[in-house]
């Protein structure tokens, strides 16, 4: 509802930043770390995501169309996406986030896998995240981040400003920023497809001592509101968006 102007006719992951869906930006981040196999859990208006990827080469790469017979030749000009393999998995419109993972399970390899949400960008070091997960030896690892403040922060001494930070990170506890690494057996804690993973499953993993937390001190920005979308687009237009920090 907080982004209804953009999501009434398309799913939230397809809301655009710089002319590309936020989903594309998230996938490009994973791709930069060598992860090229994706399983997309489709729900509300999943047809929009299907159409986007089914027509991806025609709409994003160079093509040559022969008007004589209607044949289409895709000219290989894509750089970051040429190695992508995208599985489109229908998981139901009202399924919880935990249930979506269960329905996508058949498309996952036997080993650990990564997953995240389709509405937030970050510069999480995915290589360090994977190494941290292996070192901790738990069933699941979540990424914890400090949320950015929506307001600038003034430091004042004797009635005079000594510093000003525009939208600083809050110094309170960390929040779930997504960017998980999980062993397949972690899915066994899910009791119902209607569950949100952030509630029962994460609580059960925590109670078992099986949830590690990778502390991310860098950039993270969710896209929850229209204002968030505008700010992310302004960042992209600046030429140095925080989620594209160099490797």
Q: Can you give the pLDDT at residue 156? A: 64
pLDDT band at 168 (very low <50, low <70, confident <90, very high): low
Q: Can you give the pLDDT at residue 150? A: 60
Q: Which CATH class is domain 7-234?
A: alpha beta
Average pLDDT of the chain is: 89
pLDDT(163) > 70? no
Structure token pair of residue 202: 């994460």
Confirm whether pTM is higher than 0.85: yes
pLDDT band at 61 (very low <50, low <70, confident <90, very high): confident
Mean pLDDT of 74-86: 85
Q: Can you give the pLDDT at residue 147? A: 77
Cα angle value 241/42/128 (rounded, 5°) = 45
Q: Can you give the pLDDT at residue 60? A: 87
pLDDT(54) > 70? yes
**What gap in Å lies between CA 147 and CA 219, rounded to an integer?**
9
pLDDT band at 26 (very low <50, low <70, confident <90, very high): very high
Strands (E), the chain: 16-17, 20-21, 37-42, 62-65, 72-75, 85-90, 113-115, 120-122, 140-145, 153-157, 160-165, 175-176, 180-182, 211-216, 220-222
Mean pLDDT of 168-181: 76
pLDDT band at 87 (very low <50, low <70, confident <90, very high): very high
* b/e map 165-177, b = 16+ CB within 10 Å: eeeebeeeebeeb
Mean pLDDT of 141-164: 69
Instruction: List the chain domain ranges.
Output: 7-234
pLDDT band at 52 (very low <50, low <70, confident <90, very high): very high
Q: Can you give the pLDDT at residue 74? A: 87
Q: Can you give the pLDDT at residue 160? A: 62
pLDDT(170) > 90? no
pLDDT(110) > 90? no
User: pLDDT (tens digit, 9 = 90+) per residue, 183-227?
Assistant: 999 999 999 999 999 989 999 999 999 999 999 999 999 999 999
Cα angle value 152/158/159 (rounded, 5°) = 50
Q: Can you give the pLDDT at residue 78? A: 80
């Amino acid at each position: 509802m907080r982004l209804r102007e953009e999501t009434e006719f398309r799913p939230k992951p397809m809301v655009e930043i710089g002319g590309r869906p936020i989903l594309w930006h998230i996938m490009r981040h994973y791709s930069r770390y060598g992860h090229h196999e994706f399983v997309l859990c489709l729900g509300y208006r999943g047809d929009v995501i299907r159409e986007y990827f089914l027509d991806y080469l025609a709409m994003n790469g160079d093509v040559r169309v022969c008007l004589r017979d209607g044949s289409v030749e895709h000219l290989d000009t894509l750089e970051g996406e040429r190695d992508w393999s995208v599985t489109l998995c229908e998981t139901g419109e009202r399924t919880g986030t935990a249930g979506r993972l269960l329905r996508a399970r058949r498309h996952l390899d036997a080993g650990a896998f990564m997953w995240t949400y389709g509405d937030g960008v970050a510069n999480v070091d995915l290589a360090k995240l994977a190494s941290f997960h292996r070192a901790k030896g738990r069933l699941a690892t979540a990424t914890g981040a400090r949320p950015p403040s929506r307001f600038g922060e003034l430091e004042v001494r004797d009635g005079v400003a000594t510093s000003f930070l525009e939208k600083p990170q809050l110094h309170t506890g960390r929040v779930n920023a997504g960017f998980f690494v999980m062993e397949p057996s972690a899915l066994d804690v899910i009791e119902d497809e209607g569950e949100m993973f952030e509630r029962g499953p994460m609580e059960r993993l925590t109670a078992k001592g099986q949830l590690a937390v990778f502390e991310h001190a860098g950039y993270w920005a969710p896209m929850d509101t229209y204002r968030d979308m505008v700010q992310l687009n302004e960042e992209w237009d600046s030429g140095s968006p925080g989620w594209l920090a160099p490797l």
